[in-house]
């Protein structure tokens, strides 16, 4: 008996080879924007979950507020 494979991929891994659409992210602090491939923020950006919502911060804002981020303060306190 053989196991079924996905029709989209001969190897059965479910990857049909199509690229994900780039995601547009905006810095919650300064408003800077960037295109992020693969559905995630750019590698130099950080994100925080505050009150159940994901907020992204650009590299500049992240560096300027590093102590507050590490202290786990909400961005309202920065």
- CA 3 from chain centre, in angstroms, equals 35
DSSP E strands, the chain: 23-26, 33-36, 46-50, 53-57
Query: What do you get for the CA distance between the two ends of the chain, in Å?
Result: 61
Taking CA atoms, 2 is separated from 8, 9, 12, 38, in Å, by 18, 16, 12, 33
Residue with the larger pLDDT of the pair 19 and 68: 68
pLDDT in tens, 32-70: 999 877 767 788 899 888 889 989 999 999 999 888 878
Top mean pLDDT of 23-27, 30-34, 68-72 is at 30-34
């Amino acid at each position: 008996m053989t196991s079924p494979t996905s029709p989209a991929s001969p190897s059965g891994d479910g990857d049909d080879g199509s690229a994900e659409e780039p995601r547009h992210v905006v810095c919650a602090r300064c408003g800077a924007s960037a295109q992020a491939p693969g559905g995630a923020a750019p590698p130099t950006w950080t994100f925080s979950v505050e009150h159940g919502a994901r907020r992204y911060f650009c590299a500049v804002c992240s560096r300027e507020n590093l102590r507050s981020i590490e202290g786990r303060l909400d961005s309202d306190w920065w």
